[in-house]
Amino acid sequence: MERSDTVRSAHPPKYLAGAICLDFANTLSGRMDPAPIERIDSYAALVAWAAQGGLLTEPRAADLLGEARGRLKEAQTAVARAAALRAAIHQAFAARAVGRVPDPDPITDINAALAAAMRHRRLEVEDGRVAWGWEKTPDALDQMLWPVAQSAADVLTASDPVRVKECPGIGCGWLFVDRSKNGSRRWCEMEVCGNRAKARRFKTRQNAPNRGARE
C-alpha cells in the first residue's frame, strides 16, 4: 500500500521506464520512506505529467485546466482515481518483477480503470490508415488515465512476456522494462541509483580496514 505521510517537495517527472504505465507508477518514489517523493500532488501536476509524457496535447491540457477551475471537486476525484490506479499498477508489476502472479486486488482495480477507458476507445482514420484513438471528450477530467490503463493491460498480457524489474536502489522502487539483450539492466538510472550504490560500496570498503584496526 502507498504511504499517506506528508511528502517531500515534488521533483520533475521522468520517462525512462519503457512503458507509460510504469512511468506513471514511478511518479511516487520511496514508497516505504517516511516522506516519499510525490510528483502528482494536484490536478495541475497530473495534467502536466500527461502533457510532458505525450498523452495530452498542450491545447488539450490547457482546456482541461480551464475545465478543472470550475469543477474542483471532480478534479480532486480525478487525482484520487489516479492515485488508486498508480497503486494498483505498482502492486501488479512489483509482483511481476519478482516472478509472481499479481494478486487479484490490483488486477480488479486496473480492470475498473480499463473498463472506464474502453468506453472512449475509437477507430480513427489518420494519414490514410485506420488506427486506435481516444474519443475527443474535452470535459472528461480523467482522460489522461485512459491510455495509462490501456498500457498496463497491454504490458500485463503481452504474448511475448515483458521483462519488468524494480530498481533495488535504497528508497527507490521504480519499475522499468529491461530491454537489454542479456537482461542485465539493474537500475532505473545508472547515473542516480547505480552511482549511489557504487559510492556506498566504496565507502564500505574504505571503512572496513579502519574497523579492523579498532577491534
Q: Give the domain ranges of the chain.
A: 20-214
pTM for the complete prediction? Answer: 0.83
- What is the predicted pLDDT for the residue at 123? 95
User: 114 has which bridge partners?
Assistant: none
As a whole number of angstroms, the distance between CA 4 and CA 11 comes to 18
- What is the predicted pLDDT for the residue at 159? 82
Look-up of cell digits 519499475: 175
As a whole number of angstroms, the distance between CA 156 and CA 154 comes to 6
Burial of residue 163 (CB within 10 Å: 0-12, 13-18, 19+) is middle
Identify the sign of the CA torsion 36, 20, 188, 105. positive
Question: SS3 helix, strand, coil % of the chain, rounded to 5?
Answer: 50, 10, 40
- What is the predicted pLDDT for the residue at 55? 96
Pick among 2.60.120.1440, 1.10.3300.10, 1.10.490.10, 1.10.260.40: CATH of 20-214: 1.10.3300.10
Which helix (H) or strand (E) is 29 found in, with range?
strand 28-29
Q: What is the pLDDT tens value at each position of the chain, 215 positions in all?
A: 344 333 343 456 789 999 999 999 999 987 777 788 899 999 999 999 999 999 999 999 999 999 999 999 999 999 999 999 999 999 999 999 999 999 999 999 999 999 999 999 999 998 899 999 999 888 999 999 999 999 999 999 998 888 999 998 887 889 999 998 888 788 887 665 855 544 454 455 555 565 555 55
